[in-house]
Structure 1
Amino acid sequence: MSEISREWSEIRQAFQRIWGYEDLRKSQREIVSSLLQGKDSLAIMATGGGKSICFQLPAILNEGLTLVISPLLALMEDQVRDLRSRNLPAATLHSNLSQTERREVLRNLPNIRLLYTSPETLLSQPVWEKLCDRQLKITGLMLDEAHCLVQWGDSFRPSYRRLGAVRSALMQQKPDHHPHISLAAFTATADRDTTAELKSCLQLDHPNIVRTSPYRPHLSLKVEIAWTPAGRKSRTLKFIRDRKGQSGLIYVRSRGDAEKLAAWLQDNSLATAAYHAGLPPQERRHIEQQWLNNQYPFVICTSAFGLGINKPDTRWVLHFHPPLTLSEYIQEIGRAGRDDKPAEALMLVSEPTGLLDDSDRQRVNFFLQQQQKLQQQAQLLLPQLPRRGNFTEVAKLHSDAAIALGLLHRAGNLVWLTPFEYEIYNLPQQQQKLKQSVGVQSAVAQMQDYIRVKGDRWAFLLNNFGFEEEAKLLLKSKN
């Protein structure tokens, strides 16, 4: 039976056998069907909507290797551990593995169905060479947490912007009878601009776009002013004590903030821990388990915590600091109330004038200054970049080349011929100007608008993420 004509009952049986659920949701079914037919997809599905199964199930049913590009090491490890617990052939490649472990994974690629890796590792020479092996069958390229490409792809993670050239480059290395590699992007949050950017940058071919609403009627959203740093801490302490025995998460902006707040709450006789990407993997796993088993009622964490982790009875999420963007906010509040029972999300913010506490504004300004600095460095580098070149060679000569090329690609002045060969075009020879990237600035401005909004917060979020009709119905139902 061919993959296209495969009966849905067979797919459903495999799903029941592996994951133990009765059936897929309508949105999941649509994506799974699309990928099994070798079509491209863009899945914008609310946190907790079961995005991972949409690419894991086709990967298991198909022959060959499916590559899963993921931004966070912790997320990769969590998903691979879960797949292996179900006796499924999955592996991960990342910088924390020893040389021996990396070699073993690469040697075993023909027997693996799902390989999780980062954009940077995917495009490293030893990994790329193995993937280009003519005998290695690759059937899927899946981009998880795809909003990262738009948010950070032209600055902090420039390798993201080279991913659009991966499929065609791989196909050129494969024999004529090699199946078409399907490409899909998955995210919980994408407004119209992000959707257009993903389609363009990834070179998605007439993708099947599936969108599910992020709205959770049982999740209440609140924003409160914390007038001083001490007031922010005391409000947090009261919030936690008022919810004794409930499971929750507290989000902060940095590793240092997580460590300091965790120490202060421990001094106040509360069992908790700080979780961030700087911890050793085994320590992160231990903290996750302590939280999942309710040994820690709550954890103080950066955005590294929660992706791919499902704890349906999480009753609250507290943002000790505001997130930088609405996308981050939606991702993080989405970890509360997945069991459809009442849950709450509280965000603490500095007072608007900044006279008593300017820390929130300082955090935003520091981030935007970092962005501007990257832009300026790229601008200075432009005259030294060959109009047509090899990424590896240029990066050896100029430490800022990766970011400069990413910004040029974002501005529409560069095309990736392969993930390693580029061409710069439509750039004036005199006084070369790099178009300013407004993506991050506008995302930060949206977050500030949300903090100040006087009306219904869910309606504001729905409007921003392209669910205007649902926002109107929501407001109508409340009036």
Structure 2
Amino acid sequence: MTEVPKEWIKVRQMFQRVWGYEDLRASQYEVISSLLMGQDSLAILATGGGKSICFQLPAILNEGLTIVISPLLALMEDQVRDLHTRNLPAAALHSNLSQIERREVLKNLPNTRLLYISPETLLSQPVWEKLCDRQLKITGLMLDEAHCLVQWGDSFRPSYRRLGAVRSALISQKPDHHPRISLAAFTATADRDTTAELQACLQMQNPNIVRTSPYRPHLSLKVEIAWTPAGRKSRTLKFIRDRKGQSGLIYVRSRRDAEVLAAWLQEYSFATAAYHAGLPPQERRYIEQQWLTNKYPFVICTSAFGLGINKPDTRWVLHFHPPLTLSEYIQEIGRAGRDDKPAEALMLVSEPTGLLDDSDRQRVNFFLQQQQKLHQQALALLPKLPRKGNFAEVAKLYPDAAIALGLLHRSGNLTWHTPFIYEIHNLPNHQQKLKQQIGDQSEITKMQDFIRTRGDRWDFLLNAFNCDE
């Protein structure tokens, strides 16, 4: 982009005053410029690339409310807490708030610049009615961790598929002089297919696409076979002991795995803790601070840890279990080596046959079975769905309707006229197509290919995400 907003000096001054850094990165500058000019933006910025500032800074500079759609409660709380320490007017709406707290947040929306919210809460009736208030000025709609729309939008989080109709529905409730609502999506990982699907699903209008490479030449990537469950533990123990005094993270796939492994390592006198989204907010804050101040050299965590947390001197990331997808992997290894000094990422995997230890295979199969069960229930429901309908009414009649409608939207057989009114097209001729799509497990297959590759692992990742070094 060549055009620079006239208020750029003001932008830099605000950035320096609030965040304390001298200047923005080129990628941040480009995204912020787009949003200040009212242009849609798709920002694919490597982990640690400062994505949140790209929408927080324009939100502070603009008048009105910016809505930030976020998948994780822990991430919302982290970012709102950080904004409050900077004396910025931000709030989060989520299920953990009491009725009194929710009412207070909704009442104070005219004085709020950043509202963090999940897709499900955004589309709940009380919240939607407040956002549609003609007097409430809304200037931005930001989708954080946007890859979740593609990964979970037709299974575990079907509300994501309805987000494309949000902007036009909000604008239709505002006065004629209301400014355009900028739309932006932020993620650390998106290949060509994901990029195209995000643009289509969100109904982006000529978005400025900004992409940075996740490549870190100083971060070494290794995959090792753990032949037995006991071998996985002993390799972990040796890895940690060999890196005494270094800061790191151990990723596992479930809350229970985190607690069991943390308890085992504590028996060896390691100062550490299990971290996951099921912990109370104050306990999560405590663990984060213990790690950030090196009182805990490492933390055993699920994917809920690390989002929005920056510790540049993190020297290693150990995957006790392999992630399901490359997107998860590249985000999690991105916590290490942000100071551009040597760092390492080690993934432990079960031996290929599964005869000695099939735990990795069981985890993948359990996930696929859960997803397949949801999809089969949804497929069986398709013939019963009204061709035109109100989402709330149909969902009352059929509990699996949200997933069924998400599948139809993904296959191009459904249009959301508003986030609440849908229309189905050409259903009878596309049942087989839907079944074929449900059987597509390409993301998990790519992860397995990465584990097995004998070539350069960074080359594999960069090719998978259509990136250059």
How would you bin the TM-score normalised by the shorter chain? over 0.9
Matches within 5 A, 1:423-438: 423-428=423-428, 434-437=434-437
Aligned-pair identity in percent equals 85
Partner of 2:163: 163
- Shift, 1:434, TM fit: 3.0
In structure 2, C-alpha distance between the alignment counterparts of 1:441 and 1:431, rounded to whole Å: 18
Match of 1:284 in 2: 284
Q: Distance in 1 between matches of 2:330 and 2:5?
A: 37
Structure-to-structure mapping, 1:379-390, within 5 angstroms: 379-390=379-390
Deviations 1:71-97 (A, max 9, x none): 011111111111111111111000000
Letter in 2 for 1:72: L
Cα contact 2:5–2:33 (8 A) shared by 1: no
**What is the CA-CA distance between 1:6 and the residue it aligns to?**
2.7
Write the distance in 2 (CA, Å) between the matches of 1:459 and 1:136: 48
Shift of 1:370: 1.2
Residue 215 (str. 1) matches residue 223 (str. 2): no
TM-superposed CA distance for 1:429, in Å, is: 7.2
3-state SS of paired residue (1:363)? helix
Q: Does 2:139 align with 1:122? A: no
* Letter paired with 1:115: L
1:284 and 1:94 mapped to 2: Cα distance?
A: 17
Q: 1:349-395 deviations in whole A, cap 9, x for unaligned? A: 00111111111111111111111111110011111111101111111
TM-score (norm 2): 0.97
What is the alpha-carbon distance in structure 1 between the residues aligned to residue 395 and residue 328 of structure 2? 30
Residue aligning to 2:16:
16
Partner of 1:77: 77
Determine if the alignment matches structure 1 residue 329 to structure 2 residue 320: no
Change (3 A) 1:359 1:431: closer
In 2, Cα distance between equivalents of 1:310 and 1:176: 42
1:153-192 to 2 correspondence within 5 Å?
Answer: 153-192=153-192
Q: 1:189 and 1:380 mapped to 2: Cα distance?
A: 33
What secondary structure is seen at the aligned counterpart in 1 of 2:186? strand
Match of residue 243 from structure 2: 243
* Contact 2:121–2:127, Cα closer than 8 Å, also in 1: yes
Amino acid in structure 2 at the alignment position of 1:262: A
Letter in 2 for 1:161: R
Give the partner amino acid of 1:233: K
Structure 1: distance between partners of 2:236 and 2:440: 29
Question: Once superposed, which parts of structure 1, at least 4 consecutive aligned residues long, lie more than 6 Å away?
Answer: 429-433
1:247 is aligned with what amino acid? S
Relative to structure 2, which stretch is displaced further, 17-26 or 205-214? 17-26
> 1:394–1:401: 8 Å Cα contact kept in structure 2?
yes
Residue 256 of structure 1: aligned partner: 256
Residues in 2 aligned to 1:382 and 1:432: alpha-carbon distance in whole angstroms: 12
CA separation of 1:24 and 1:290: change in aligned 2, threshold 3 A: same
Q: Which amino acid counterpart does residue 357 of structure 1 have in structure 2?
A: D
1:323-345, CA deviations, whole angstroms, 9 ceiling, x for partnerless residues? 00000000000000111111100
Query: How far apart are the structure 2 equivalents of 1:347 and 1:430?
Result: 40
Alignment of 1:344 onto 2:344? yes
Matched residue of 2:346: which SS?
strand
Residues 1:378 and 2:378 aligned together? yes
Secondary structure of 1:173's match? coil
Shift of 1:432: 7.7
Q: Distance in 2 between matches of 1:409 and 1:262?
A: 42
Are the aligned partners of 1:379 and 1:433 in contact in 2 as well (CA < 8 Å)? no
| TM-score for the superposition, normalised by structure 1 | 0.95
Separation of aligned partners in 2, 1:137 and 1:198: 25
Superposed, 1:390-409 pairs within 5 Å as 390-409=390-409
Contact 1:427 1:433 in 2 (8 A): no
Q: 2:203: which partner in 1? A: 203
Q: Distance in 2 between matches of 1:247 and 1:436?
A: 45
Distance 1:440 1:294, change over 3 A: farther
Aligned to 1:443: 443
Q: Aligned partners of 1:242 and 1:438: how far apart in 2?
A: 44
RMSD of Structure 2 on Structure 1 (CA)? 1.4
**2:298 paired residue number:** 298
Which secondary structure does the structure 1 equivalent of 2:434 belong to?
coil
User: Is the partner of 1:345 in helix, strand or coil?
Assistant: strand
User: 1:428 offset after TM fit, Å?
Assistant: 1.2
Q: For residue 143 of structure 1, what is the aligned residue in structure 2? A: 143
Aligned twin of 2:412:
412
Q: What amino acid does structure 2 have at the position aligned with 1:402?
A: A
Q: How many aligned positions are there?
A: 467
Measure how far apart 1:436 and its partner are. Answer: 3.5
Q: What is the rounded CA distance, in whole Å, between the counterparts of 1:439 and 1:52 in structure 2?
A: 35
Residue number in structure 1 paired with 2:461:
461
Q: How many angstroms apart in 1 are the aligned matches of 2:466 and 2:82?
A: 33
Per-residue deviation, 1:7? 3.0
The CA distance in 1 between the partners of 2:313 and 2:458, in whole Å, is 21
Gaps of 5+ in 1: 471-479
